[in-house]
Chain A
Amino acid sequence: MPAKKKRYGMVIDTRKCVGCMSCTISCKMENGVPFDGFRAWVNMTERGEFPKVKRNFIPRLCNHCDDAPCVSVCPVKASYIDDDGIVLIDQNKCIGCGYCISACPYSARYLHEGLQVADKCTFCTHRVKAGLEPACVHNCMGKARIFGDLNDPQSEISQHIARNGVQTLRPDLGTNPKVFYVDAELNNLPNKGGK
């Protein structure tokens, strides 16, 4: 029986995130992300009234959607999903029209000011091919990020998803993200009507 294809994804357990931003910094350093763009970042909200206040952290990155809108709108097929399910950009093909950046509902793409093409998280595919974890996962001090093969039921990520209730961002859009959140309280964010 042929081996099942890999399908990489990530779980972010927000219970363990302390908002240290090491993911943002390590991503910038690993991938040479320019000053005004972000491949990985952490949104923060505060809920409650003094003295009962809680700060929530929502680490963000490209969701590597199975039905990625950025791929379907790219007029030159520069955006594509590779064999391992990672959404990538062929930067030699990209014409810098910005349509994929507008089409991404997660604001995960930006225009690389140096290269003048679209850029985004690649799940550090160069590290993954070398058998390493993405930089943000490797450097997460709270071990809030788990990266692995969603098609392997024995992988740590699959086990974590099976044991915990997970959510994705904007499931209503039907993009089928491969980045999952544990305990993210996504629907309680103020801009989504949360109080």
Chain B
Amino acid sequence: MNAQEIYLVVNSNPWQALVPLYIFFKGLSVGALCISALFTVFRSERFKRLALPAALTSLIAFIPAPILLLADLHQPLRFWHLFVNFNPTSAISWGTWLIILYPLCLLWYIARLGMSQGISLPLLKGVQESASASQGQRSSGLSLRGVSVLTLVLALLADLYTAFLLGVVKGKVLWNSALLPGYFLASALVTGTALVLIVYLYKKPEEKTVQTLARIIQGTLVLELFFAFSQWITLYATNLQGQKTVELLWHDPKYLIGDIFLGILLPIVLLMRPSVNKKTILTISALLVILGGLLLRFSIVDIGIQAAALWN
């Protein structure tokens, strides 16, 4: 016996381009900060010269995020309701405070990092002066390492909350996955590193550092591929809704061509023998990685909504 739907109403979802763009820019910032933290938190001397440029890249990449978030609110003038109505079961409530604390801490981190390297940052003069005063008084101010750890933790939480924001939504199998936080974090790390690589390539780069950055990108892309495969296999095995979701993913050019092929597989190959002399190839690879990360966010948000609508 055949069955077919002849009239199906699905109320449209208001989440359009701004939500994936917000998730993307935040990820870019967090990824760049992770590179900076390789020196300040994990004490890798190779990244000493790169720590400040990476942190500044992280700050600049973050700037569009709150603007996009505010623009996505259909009642933007009521944004202050978020500060006076905290709902502990809402990921957005937590995220609101994280995306306020993270950039503040990032500014503090950049100011302290600049001071430790003897670099005066005109825009952060006030922050540097107050940090210097607190150091002079030997007050309870945190050390650079302490500030770095705090900023890194806030950055990771700020990135992860969006994965949980989607992950806790009931009835959307693509989002409702334990893989999503890891997947988003890997994508954030790889896009942020790619952006730092582009910045670094035009700042008298050292061969070894460029090679290490390329290896980090390659390794994280392989990790991303692992998450993608795991997602396909688990979704396909779960139920019919999962199967339909995988089919939608595979039929989405943003995902299959944009993210998987152009954003992951091609850069893995192009970065096989990284060298400062191959500046153009490295730049193209990094741009492809960033493009892939952007398209991944778009496809995860779009397909998640589309697949759930099929099941309405």
Chain A residues near B (Cβ < 8 Å)? 36-38, 41-49, 55, 60, 69, 72-78, 93-99, 101-103, 105-111, 116-117, 170, 173-175, 188-195
Give chain A residues whose Cβ lies under 8 Å from the Cβ of B124: none
Q: Please tell me if the beta carbons of B11 and A107 are within 8 angstroms of each other in the complex.
A: yes
Q: Please tell me if the beta carbons of A44 and B11 are within 8 angstroms of each other in the complex.
A: no
- In whole angstroms, how far apart are the Cα atoms of A102 and B301 in the complex? 10
**Top 7 closest pairs, chain A to chain B, by CB:** A96-B74, A105-B171, A75-B92, A110-B11, A98-B14, A116-B74, A44-B7
CB distance from B165 to the nearest CB of A (A): 8
Binding stretch for chain A, among B76-84, B99-107, B263-271, B276-284: B76-84
Q: Please tell me if the beta carbons of B82 and A75 are within 8 angstroms of each other in the complex.
A: yes
Cross-chain contact of A97 among B9, B73, B85, B172 (Cβ < 8 A): B73
Can you list 28 A-B pairs with a CB-CB distance of less than 8 A? A43-B5, A44-B8, A45-B3, A48-B1, A73-B87, A76-B81, A76-B87, A77-B85, A93-B85, A94-B75, A95-B74, A95-B82, A96-B74, A98-B14, A98-B15, A101-B13, A102-B305, A105-B172, A110-B12, A116-B75, A117-B74, A117-B75, A175-B170, A189-B5, A190-B3, A191-B311, A193-B240, A195-B1
Q: Please tell me if the beta carbons of B170 and A69 are within 8 angstroms of each other in the complex.
A: yes
Beyond A95-B79, A96-B74, 6 additional pairs, beta carbon < 8 A: A73-B91, A95-B78, A103-B168, A105-B170, A106-B312, A189-B5
Closest residue of chain A to B5 (Cβ to Cβ) is A45
Q: Which of B185-229 contact A (CB under 8 A)?
A: none
A73/B92 contact (C-beta < 8 A), A44-B7, A95-B75 known: yes
A191/B310 contact (C-beta < 8 A), A77-B87, A117-B74 known: yes
Give chain B residues whose Cβ lies under 8 Å from the Cβ of A105: 170-172, 308
CB distance from B166 to the nearest CB of A (A): 8
Cross-chain contact of A75 among B7, B9, B74, B87 (Cβ < 8 A): B87
Q: Please tell me if the beta carbons of A37 and B75 are within 8 angstroms of each other in the complex.
A: no
A96/B1 contact (C-beta < 8 A), A44-B6, A103-B169 known: no
Q: B309 within 8 Å of A by Cβ?
A: yes
CB distance from A49 to the nearest CB of B (A): 6
Chain B residues near A (Cβ < 8 Å)? 1-15, 72-75, 78-79, 81-82, 85, 87, 89-93, 96, 165, 168-172, 240, 244, 305, 308-312
Q: Please tell me if the beta carbons of B169 and A47 are within 8 angstroms of each other in the complex.
A: no
Q: Please tell me if the beta carbons of B6 and A46 are within 8 angstroms of each other in the complex.
A: yes
CB distance from A153 to the nearest CB of B (A): 30
A111/B171 contact (C-beta < 8 A), A95-B79, A195-B2 known: no
- In whole angstroms, how far apart are the Cα atoms of A54 and B218 in the complex? 56
CB distance from B253 to the nearest CB of A (A): 23
Cross-chain contact of B11 among A93, A101, A194 (Cβ < 8 A): A101
Cross-chain contact of B3 among A38, A41, A47, A77 (Cβ < 8 A): A47
Q: Please tell me if the beta carbons of A43 and B87 are within 8 angstroms of each other in the complex.
A: no
- In whole angstroms, how far apart are the Cα atoms of A145 and B21 in the complex? 43
Q: Please tell me if the beta carbons of B2 and A48 are within 8 angstroms of each other in the complex.
A: yes
- In whole angstroms, how far apart are the Cα atoms of A72 and B170 in the complex? 11
Q: Please tell me if the beta carbons of B311 and A97 are within 8 angstroms of each other in the complex.
A: no
- In whole angstroms, how far apart are the Cα atoms of A49 and B244 in the complex? 25
Q: Please tell me if the beta carbons of B73 and A95 are within 8 angstroms of each other in the complex.
A: yes
Closest residue of chain B to A92 (Cβ to Cβ) is B78
Closest residue of chain B to A175 (Cβ to Cβ) is B170
Q: Please tell me if the beta carbons of A98 and B3 are within 8 angstroms of each other in the complex.
A: no
Give chain B residues whose Cβ lies under 8 Å from the Cβ of A106: 312
A96/B9 contact (C-beta < 8 A), A101-B14, A195-B2 known: no
